[in-house]
Chain A
Amino acid sequence: MTGTVEGCAGPGFGSVPRKEDGRFVRGRGRFVDDIALPGMLHGAVLRSPYAHARIRSVDATAAESHPKVRAVITGETLAARGMAWMPTFSHDVAAVLATDKVRYQGQEVAFVVADDRYAARDALALIDVDYEPLPPVADARRSLDEGAPVIRDDIADRTDNHVFDWETGDAGATEALFARAAHVSECDLVYPRVHPAPLETCGTVADFDRISGKLTVHTTAQAPHAHRMLYARIAGIPEHHIRIIAPDIGGGFGNKVGMYPGYLCAVVGSILTGAPVKWVEDRSENLMSTSFARDFHMHGEIAADADGHILALRVSVLADHGAFNATAQPSKFPAGFFGVFTGSYDIAAAHCRVTGVYTNKAPGGVAYACSFRVTEAVYLVERLVDVLARDTGRDPAELRMANLLTPDRFPFRSATGWEYDSGDYPRALRTALDMVGYEEVRAEQKQRRVAFERTGHGPLTGVGMSVFTEAVGAGPRRLMDIMGLGMADGAELRVHPTGPAVLRLSCMSQGQGHETTFAQIVSHELGLPVDAVEVVQGDTDNTPFGLGTYGSRSTPVSGAAASVAAGKVREQARQVAAVMLEVAADDLRWDVGTGGPEGGSFSVKGVPGVSVTLREIAMAAHGGLDLPDGVEGQLAASTVYNPPNLTFPFGAYVCVVDVDPGTGEVDVRRFVAVDDCGVRINPMIVEGQIHGGLADGIGMALMELVAFDDDGNHLSASFMDYLLPTAMECPPWELAATVTPSPHHPLGAKGVGESATVGSPPAVVNAVLDAIGVRHADMPLTPAHVWRALQGRPIRPDIAIR
């Protein structure tokens, strides 16, 4: 396969078809719930009906007497094994099964193991739990009130619901610029709680072998190696006795990074019964209890001079973390990478404070393609720029163009200390505005506004945009770790004697096409056909250690590792070729070729016709050739890639909506997306990633919401209420690319998977608010919310209206 991409030519790269598809279109994928092991039992979780209640007692005797029940596990069962609580990714602990109190509706209280899943569910009804209801904290803004119920009384000396304070930027410099600004705009913004809702829920098959002491866990894990360490820490089984196998995963979107009680209960169930135990949650369990996303309550201020040059940003955030702080992110970054909130603009000073609080809700926060809170950062700045434009009577496109960083400023050190690697933002925005026909859309908008004012009828047209900078590829190990594990990732490449290769990786695809694109990287480096490279991921016994796939980190970290490992193999091949051709290694010239089965070749400089192919070298390297000292036989290499920096892909999005002012209904008419992720390994796959993220943006901006009532009842615990866009709500996406390579990445490639989810919600919101002429209203802009905003009374979406 040969493909040429701007900035990177050669075999391997290009829109090659996916190797994954053959099995998936035949129904031959292998997802967790497809696994059936001999003697396998089934688990089900009993969940709390209360958001906050003391547990007086749990009586499981009736359940235990059910003829098909093999075990009932309660908090006491786990406490006896020291497993009632587990560490989280954020220096906190979370209850596995509640022992003292329940702290959110849907929390795990007991676990039944039975012969089949119907019987396991039946038996849940036989468990009698005596609860003493307590007042819940449902509203994050009330959580620090004097006298607010203390959620985490399990922590010694806890007297409030405060989790952390974190700040970034230079408060003094920011203050000084605000003091001399000609204009200051401010705005309160809620990025409401949403949920990644992968179509496949979380699940596991735990299989503890009593003879060998080995635990095998087939599970929905985006980070299998990190899971292995967690099982070792929590269950006390040494890591070499734990094998995590992540099979095909039906979407992750950040939902499947962390540890969930159901996984651990299945392990304990297997230990207690001696049989494999499967646990697969249903949708309501997934929405109620697994990692939510966002829930940032932000106050932003933006200062500008009289010419509309943005001087400074000042931000404070209240972050609702639920009952246990379990955000999955680098441990030194309690608010993730929210610090990139200065966005794509040349802003001299910025400051931000984030306060995290406990509430009676499920844990989470970092999920749903957020790149560690970059979704929130981009939403904040892109909304504030629109508010500034409105308040100062400027066109939002013109205001952005006047403030964007220009290409000559890179690498650019932001006011909060992030070093952006490369970018050409004005070109991306110009491309997007040209594609949408910005002037024409504005003219049409004006006509419709005039017609509406004359007749009182719609539709109203709005145009909104977002110029975002992402921060992906965590990350440099001295700065970034998860539970003490540095965020470097391994890769192992082995070329077999007859030429095909196997590449073993620590990342774990959940649909992003790694089996294809990582084979393309090896093909690009060694000239082998894409189909001659097998990619192995997800099995901790058979892959090198690394931190997994989330934060769009696979291409920046594992992609670089694959490239480096292939480069090492190429250099080893050079040494072997030198022996084969009886010349000095320095006299050999590499020709990557066209991707045929022979692979690339080494030829003797200045001697036409004398060369050996990679396939010949592979055989010789495994053969009887007498290799010099220091040249190992066989043909293989491994590496651990410690990225020097993140990659900073970017894009410019423009959305056009029509709003019916009578009903508040929004029709997304057009969505233009210009993305730049540097070199594109497989443009077809990149575009698919962007399409998916744009649908997320429509969903979050217009439909998706996890809301609670005052009693802490979860009001969005099924797809009846948690609305996801269908094919009807999504317009035909209009995509374009620019290519600004990452200078520090071996392939010039940046991550991209989360860009569209990060960049699109503000474009949609800006478009809707532009249509209805409202300064701000919070997501999701459902017909009811839009209609209320049109009446001048926007509502707060995250708590139920009485």
Chain B
Amino acid sequence: MTATEPVVETDVPTRRISVTVNGERRVADVEPRLLLAHLLRQGLALTGTHVGCDTTNCGACTVLYDGTPVKSCTMLAVQADGHEVTTVEGLGTPSELDPVQEGFATEHGLQCGFCTPGMMLAARALLDRNPDPSEDEIRWGLSGNLCRCTGYQNIVKAVRWAAEKEAK
């Protein structure tokens, strides 16, 4: 399957890449300079991944790259060739949410929703490597993700909620 929209026109040298996004193999012809965040958002129309800064501080673009959280604004799409990427759209299914998604809604861990996708993926990765994190571990684990609305407290609670649900 190819990208829904051509990412670039043909007069610039492009490279064909194949990336498994949310379990589905996607092929796209991309300029080498294209950022992974832009491939996901414009090329593949997966607009849940957001861009909040230009210096790799905010983490709104966080996706899982072979299971590891990465800031997709600081990775070239060509670097993802042959790898697996999970975005918020692949975190749960529309009918069955990931416990992290449930936790964010239950504990009011989001307001404007702009940091939420990146925050949830960072939280997912945290719980995958540490299923029972302390409050400090959660705060440290999410310190690469800025939120302007929540003051973080309910995000911490949301991650604890997910951890407890998964422990059951």
Which A residues form the contact surface with B (CB < 8 A)? 17-18, 20-31, 33-34, 36, 67-68, 115-118, 197-201, 248-251, 253, 282-284, 510-513, 684-685, 687-695, 718-720, 724, 726-728, 730, 732-733
Q: Which of B53, B89, B144 contacts A27 (CB 8 A)?
A: B89
Cα separation A199 to B60 with both chains bound (whole Å): 8
A118-B34, A200-B50, A695-B152 known; A728 and B140 CB under 8 Å?
A: yes
| Residue pair A727, B111 in contact (C-beta under 8 Å) | no
For A117, the chain B residues whose CB sits under 8 A away are 38
Identify the closest chain A residue to B45 (Cβ).
Answer: A36
Q: Is B97 part of the binding interface, using a Cβ–Cβ cutoff of 8 Å?
A: yes
For B58, the chain A residues whose CB sits under 8 A away are 199, 283, 719
| Residue pair A688, B108 in contact (C-beta under 8 Å) | yes
Q: Which of B55, B91, B145 contacts A283 (CB 8 A)?
A: B55
A-B contact pairs, 8 of them (CB 8 A): A26-B101, A33-B51, A68-B9, A282-B53, A283-B52, A511-B113, A688-B111, A728-B143
Cα separation A197 to B115 with both chains bound (whole Å): 13
Cα separation A201 to B38 with both chains bound (whole Å): 16
- Which B residues, 67 to 110, have Cβ-Cβ distances below 8 Å to chain A? 87-89, 91-92, 94, 97, 101, 104-106, 108, 110
| Residue pair B48, A197 in contact (C-beta under 8 Å) | no
| Residue pair A692, B148 in contact (C-beta under 8 Å) | yes
For B55, the chain A residues whose CB sits under 8 A away are 283, 718-720
| Residue pair B31, A253 in contact (C-beta under 8 Å) | no
Interface residue SS majority, chain A: loop
Cα separation A20 to B45 with both chains bound (whole Å): 21
| Residue pair B101, A691 in contact (C-beta under 8 Å) | no
| Residue pair A727, B50 in contact (C-beta under 8 Å) | no
Cα separation A338 to B141 with both chains bound (whole Å): 41
For A27, the chain B residues whose CB sits under 8 A away are 46-49, 87-89, 91, 117
Q: Is B156 part of the binding interface, using a Cβ–Cβ cutoff of 8 Å?
A: yes
**B29 → chain A closest CB, angstroms:** 14
Q: Which of B48, B57, B153 contacts A733 (CB 8 A)?
A: B153
Other than the given A33-B47, A199-B147, A733-B151, 12 more pairs (CB < 8 A) read A23-B113, A26-B97, A26-B101, A27-B117, A33-B41, A201-B52, A253-B148, A283-B54, A283-B58, A511-B149, A512-B111, A728-B140
Q: Is B36 part of the binding interface, using a Cβ–Cβ cutoff of 8 Å?
A: no
Q: Is B24 part of the binding interface, using a Cβ–Cβ cutoff of 8 Å?
A: no
Q: Which of B53, B60, B104 contacts A25 (CB 8 A)?
A: B104
Cα separation A29 to B46 with both chains bound (whole Å): 11
| Residue pair B92, A720 in contact (C-beta under 8 Å) | no
Cα separation A458 to B69 with both chains bound (whole Å): 38
Cα separation A504 to B23 with both chains bound (whole Å): 40
Ranked nearest first, the 5 interchain pairs of A and B with the lowest CB-CB distance are: A27-B48, A511-B112, A250-B114, A24-B113, A691-B151
For A283, the chain B residues whose CB sits under 8 A away are 52-55, 58
**B53 → chain A closest CB, angstroms:** 4
| Residue pair A17, B105 in contact (C-beta under 8 Å) | yes
Identify the closest chain B residue to A726 (Cβ).
Answer: B143
Interface residue SS majority, chain B: loop
For A284, the chain B residues whose CB sits under 8 A away are 54
A17-B106, A26-B48, A115-B9 known; A198 and B143 CB under 8 Å?
A: no
For B106, the chain A residues whose CB sits under 8 A away are 17
| Residue pair A25, B148 in contact (C-beta under 8 Å) | no
Which B residues form the contact surface with A (CB < 8 A)? 5, 8-9, 11, 31, 33-34, 38, 41-42, 45-55, 57-58, 60, 87-89, 91-92, 94, 97, 101, 104-106, 108, 110-117, 120, 135, 138-140, 142-156
A31-B50, A691-B151, A719-B55 known; A200 and B114 CB under 8 Å?
A: yes
Q: When A and B form their complex, what is the total count of cross-chain residue pairs whose Cβ atoms lie within 8 Å?
A: 184
| Residue pair A25, B120 in contact (C-beta under 8 Å) | yes
Cα separation A68 to B6 with both chains bound (whole Å): 15
For B87, the chain A residues whose CB sits under 8 A away are 27
A691-B151, A718-B55 known; A67 and B112 CB under 8 Å?
A: no
Q: Which of A67, A198, A693, A727 contacts B139 (CB 8 A)?
A: A727
For B42, the chain A residues whose CB sits under 8 A away are 36
A27-B88, A115-B9 known; A688 and B149 CB under 8 Å?
A: yes
| Residue pair B152, A691 in contact (C-beta under 8 Å) | yes
Cα separation A31 to B114 with both chains bound (whole Å): 9
| Residue pair A692, B46 in contact (C-beta under 8 Å) | no
For A720, the chain B residues whose CB sits under 8 A away are 55, 57
For B34, the chain A residues whose CB sits under 8 A away are 118
For A197, the chain B residues whose CB sits under 8 A away are 148
For B45, the chain A residues whose CB sits under 8 A away are 36
**A109 → chain B closest CB, angstroms:** 20
Identify the closest chain A residue to B138 (Cβ).
Answer: A727
**B103 → chain A closest CB, angstroms:** 9
Cα separation A692 to B150 with both chains bound (whole Å): 4
**B79 → chain A closest CB, angstroms:** 17
| Residue pair A688, B154 in contact (C-beta under 8 Å) | yes
Max chain A CB contacts within 10 Å: which of B87, B91, B149, B154? B149
For A724, the chain B residues whose CB sits under 8 A away are 146, 148
For A513, the chain B residues whose CB sits under 8 A away are 111
For B49, the chain A residues whose CB sits under 8 A away are 27
For A253, the chain B residues whose CB sits under 8 A away are 148
For B151, the chain A residues whose CB sits under 8 A away are 688, 690-695, 730, 733
**B10 → chain A closest CB, angstroms:** 11
Cα separation A36 to B42 with both chains bound (whole Å): 8
| Residue pair A719, B57 in contact (C-beta under 8 Å) | yes
**B112 → chain A closest CB, angstroms:** 3
Identify the closest chain B residue to A196 (Cβ).
Answer: B148
Max chain B CB contacts within 10 Å: which of A116, A199, A201, A730? A199
For A199, the chain B residues whose CB sits under 8 A away are 50, 52, 58, 60, 112, 114-115, 146-148
Q: Which of A22, A512, A727 contacts B142 (CB 8 A)?
A: A727
**B93 → chain A closest CB, angstroms:** 9
Cα separation A720 to B55 with both chains bound (whole Å): 7
Cα separation A671 to B49 with both chains bound (whole Å): 33
Max chain A CB contacts within 10 Å: which of B51, B104, B112, B120? B112
Cα separation A425 to B168 with both chains bound (whole Å): 45
Cα separation A132 to B16 with both chains bound (whole Å): 47
For B38, the chain A residues whose CB sits under 8 A away are 117
For B135, the chain A residues whose CB sits under 8 A away are 732
Max chain B CB contacts within 10 Å: which of A20, A511, A687? A511
For B148, the chain A residues whose CB sits under 8 A away are 197-199, 251, 253, 692, 724
**A510 → chain B closest CB, angstroms:** 6
Identify the closest chain A residue to B157 (Cβ).
Answer: A732
Cα separation A36 to B55 with both chains bound (whole Å): 25
Identify the closest chain B residue to A731 (Cβ).
Answer: B153
Cα separation A251 to B142 with both chains bound (whole Å): 19
Identify the closest chain B residue to A735 (Cβ).
Answer: B153
**A341 → chain B closest CB, angstroms:** 26
Cα separation A511 to B55 with both chains bound (whole Å): 24
**A68 → chain B closest CB, angstroms:** 7
For B111, the chain A residues whose CB sits under 8 A away are 251, 511-513, 688-689, 692
| Residue pair A21, B104 in contact (C-beta under 8 Å) | yes
For A248, the chain B residues whose CB sits under 8 A away are 112-113
Cα separation A30 to B148 with both chains bound (whole Å): 18
| Residue pair B54, A25 in contact (C-beta under 8 Å) | no
Cα separation A691 to B149 with both chains bound (whole Å): 8
A26-B48, A511-B112 known; A730 and B41 CB under 8 Å?
A: no
For B153, the chain A residues whose CB sits under 8 A away are 691, 730, 732-733
Identify the closest chain B residue to A685 (Cβ).
Answer: B108
Q: Which of A25, A251, A282 contacts B101 (CB 8 A)?
A: A25
**B35 → chain A closest CB, angstroms:** 9
**A136 → chain B closest CB, angstroms:** 25
